[in-house]
Chains A and B, each alone.
Chain A
Amino acid sequence: MSNFSLIVLLLALMAIGYQLGMVRSRKVAIVNPQQKMHSRPHHYGMMVGLWAVIPAFFILVLWTLLSPGVINGMVAAQLPAEALAAEGLTADVIMRRISNLATNFGVVAEAAQWELDAAAYMQQLQTSSALLLTGLMAAIAAAGLFFSFKRIQPHLRARHQIERTVKAVLIICSTVAILTTIGIVLSMVGETIKFFSFIPPADFFLGTTWNPRFSTTGVSEGSLTGSQGSFGLLPLLSGTMMIAGIALLVAIPLGLMVAIYLAEYAPANFRATAKPIIEVLAGIPTIVYGFFALVTVGPFLADFGASIGLTIRATSALTAGVVMGIMIVPFISSLSDDIITQVPKALRDASLGLGATKSETIRKVVLPAALPGIVGAVLLAASRAIGETMIVVLAAGNSPTLTANPFEAVSTITVSIVNQLTGDNDFASPQTLVAFALGLTLFVITLLLNIVALVVVRKYREQYE
């Protein structure tokens, strides 16, 4: 029986258990009129339902995780030794062939008799495993249902049991975020260490050429070194920083002035219309910005450059940077807006009372007071710009050269990740693994920026709250 139908059956069982528990608790209440039931009938029902389902569900999960390994082991133990030696294939490949035969998926080339035997054995094991699982789950579910059903008594604290279960589920859900972080770090660190076994870290972090060449998967390690290509991070890092820098040069003045105007000058109804419209920019998918940069902004900048005698490539650091700047304007403006409105009114009143004009108050009093928060917002925006992918994939030109000219095509860390990790994900060549080293670098850079930003913002909050 498939896992899906087992789950459907479990849910049906839960409903039955719920009904049984409710009926039973009502009966118990009638039989013992002098004793007050601890919980409401539906609590008892739910308790019975949970007892019927949860242990059986755990069995299902464990079985699904463990049984393939056990079955493979048993099949492998049955394989004739001479067959293994004769074929010269790895055990892994043989097992894959056998499991393909067992699922009637078919294999390349004629299957040998011993392979067919093993496949038949595997099929037989899988059938009995499924039967065994169904039987075991039925038994455990029945036992859970029966015992919890029997335990219904006036003094049984059914509600407490349910609440404990719910709380456990809540706790498990809140650890998913931690597990995700651990997963990110572990997977990337693991693959990065593998990558550093091909390329020394110094060559990666300090190398000035990025030329990963073709993928050399399947070539033996000895010949690999000859055609290895160079994995220098610096050209990518400089491209990333240049584009992020241009983006910030566009976004900081624009975003900050928007925030100041909307927070300090704009009449309420103007603010109420303009703010959401600008925030629409934040909700537009980055692929749309990429397309906009590629077909509109790039050619426009190239034409503009030509008209004033500059050679600007249509896909260049400038194009990507300008469009990315547009993208992060709402990010900076809404964060700064919040921070500026949080500055206490007393500061403004004091300054105005001394005769300062409104703009002097803003420049000399409000902005210095809001500065830590604004710096935090800018750092967050910078981390977003560094991690942004689709705009640079489409509009930065993908040319990993070490250049200081923003009118040239460049490449970034994110672009290289996308270029290196597509198609077949065979995690064995440095060409693929480098994506994880780049990802880890990116993760560390953005993490540092975020932490600094959070610390700065927190420090600021302590001043006024």
Chain B
Amino acid sequence: MTDNKLSSTDKDVAVEPVLLSKTQQQVAASLARRHRQEKLFKGVGLGAVIISLTLVAILFVNIFAKGVPAFWQAHITLDIYFDPEVISISEKPVQGADETDNEFRQRFIEWQTEVGMVNFNRLILDGLNKVIPEAQERQYRRDAARIVTSGERYAVRDMVIENPEIIGQTKTVNLLTDANIDVWLKGNIDRSLPDSQQQLSPKVREWVEMLSAQGIIENRFSFALFINPDSRSSPASAGLAGAFVGSLYMMLVVIFLAVPMGVAAAIYLEEFAPKNKFTDLVEVNINNLAAVPSIVFGLLGASVFIGWFKLPMSAPIVGGLVLSLMTLPTVIIATRSTLKAIPPSIRQAALGLGASKMQAVFHHVLPLAIPGILTGAIIGVAQALGETAPLLLIGMKSFVSQIPAGPFEQSTALPVQIYLWQGNELRNFFEARTSAAIIVLLALMLTLNGLAIWLRKKYEKRW
């Protein structure tokens, strides 16, 4: 029996190495394939990361390549003689001693209207005639009128309003040229196209070549982009100031409404709320609200704020309210996770020393949570700053040619301005200008996000 058993064990031992080696052979045979698969899988992963990074790079390079040149614009330098015969206006009013503010303002507005009637185009054309004598000829009048963009006559007017003493003097003035000249000089019009398809007449092209060779027309940094509101009649002077101020008002509303409310709601839910059905409902609600498409908030704004409360259309106050409601969940969620991360021992220590629950939260927990709350708030504000869709529904896509003076005035916002400009028919000028506006918007958002990251890094604490 023992022998038998032994022999059977021997037999097993004798057989098994063969079996094992068979499995090993299988493993060894498949090993190369499996390692190839491993490499392939890892390669695909790395490829996905590289593709994503490339996409980021393409997006930014593309926008920057298009937009950066638009920060410089063709300007023409002219000697303008402020001809007293053309500018025949009464003296600039000075407030008399016996005059009330209102009376003076009335008189000043009348004077401004009088100044507004002056033919400032004449002055610009006279200045132009000095550098292009040909432009005086009758048949070239229309061409000459196309060189300086039409909005610049207001710049000349404002010089007179600012300082009426320049009447009778000659000043060297830098004016924006027409948008088409800017495009042509930047080479964005195919010069081989037939005359009828060029956006400039042959005469204007000839002049522009001449003037830019003389250095009278040159590319300068375009302050107009930053200090002017939008303009339709004079595309070259269209700027972002109106949209920027509109966005600023909306962000103020968000900061003063969504941030305190969101923080308060988060404090209640995290620190005080009893565990019951109502709290559950609020919580589920907030999570869902965070995922509701932004355009739905626009519908809410259109029907509730404008339809029921009769707030004005296109006003930053309505936009601010809509964006506040949209940002609220973001702020609440960020604040709650910050509060959650603060160890209970802090609260227990305060309570143990006799503080009330309210005191423990407001004196001890909240100060520790402030960096995290700020980070969340900044990210929420940045998100609100870039939002476009809801603003279209509350009328903010109408054209506004003035910088809004208050949150109840008509206005647009930066992203909406981008939307409006990309649809402008003067395509080869506004494509670059839109990209420039995008760069401004991205710069603002990246600054905000950078600030948030910096705050988080600086004050991050591991408990």
Contacts and interface: CB of A to CB of B under 8 A. Distances in A.
| B partners with A | yes
B455 to A, nearest CB: 15
Given A181-B288, A187-B303, A389-B389, A285 B422 contact: no
Interface of B: 27, 34-35, 37-38, 40-42, 44-49, 51-53, 55-56, 58-59, 62-63, 66, 260-262, 264-265, 267-269, 272-273, 281-282, 284-289, 291-300, 302-304, 306-307, 313, 325, 328-329, 332, 356, 358, 362, 382-383, 385-389, 392-393, 395, 397-398, 415, 418-419, 422, 431, 434-435, 438, 441-442, 445-446, 449, 453
Given A333-B52, A383-B291, A443 B296 contact: yes
A173 B438 contact: no
B419 A421 contact: no
B373 to A, nearest CB: 14
A421 B299 contact: yes
9 contacts: A173-B262, A177-B265, A285-B385, A285-B387, A292-B59, A359-B37, A394-B419, A436-B303, A454-B284
Contact of A176 (B34, B265, B296, B398): B265
B415 A387 contact: no
A425 B42 contact: no
A388 B387 CA distance: 11
Given A257-B48, A265-B46, A170 B268 contact: yes
Interface string A183-208: 11001101100000000000000000
B52 to A, nearest CB: 5
Given A181-B285, A280-B56, A286-B389, A387 B382 contact: no
Interface of A: 159, 163, 166-167, 169-171, 173-178, 180-181, 183-184, 187-188, 190-191, 253-258, 260-262, 264-266, 274, 276-278, 280-281, 283-288, 290-292, 294-296, 326, 329-330, 333, 355, 357-360, 362-363, 380, 383-384, 386-390, 393-394, 414, 417-418, 421-423, 425, 427, 435-436, 439, 442-443, 446-447, 450-451, 454
Contacts of A291: 63, 418, 422, 434-435, 438
Given A425-B307, A447-B288, A167 B358 contact: yes
A359 B51 CA distance: 20
A278 B325 contact: no
Contact of B291 (A159, A326, A330, A384): A384
B291 A274 contact: no
A113 B387 CA distance: 50
Given A393-B389, A447-B292, 4 more contacts: A170-B264, A184-B300, A421-B393, A447-B288
Contacts of B287: 450, 454
B163 to A, nearest CB: 35
A329 B293 CA distance: 18
Contacts of B45: 257-258, 260-261, 264-265
A363 B37 CA distance: 11
A451 B325 CA distance: 21
Given A292-B59, A384-B291, A283 B445 contact: yes
Contact of B282 (A177, A363, A435): A177
A440 B455 CA distance: 39
Given A170-B268, A254-B51, A358 B294 contact: no
Contact of A357 (B38, B46, B281): B38
A181 B295 contact: no
Nearest to B302: A425
Contact of A178 (B34, B282, B358, B415): B282
Contact of B328 (A176, A257, A436): A176
A352 to B, nearest CB: 12
A281 B285 CA distance: 27
A390 B293 contact: no
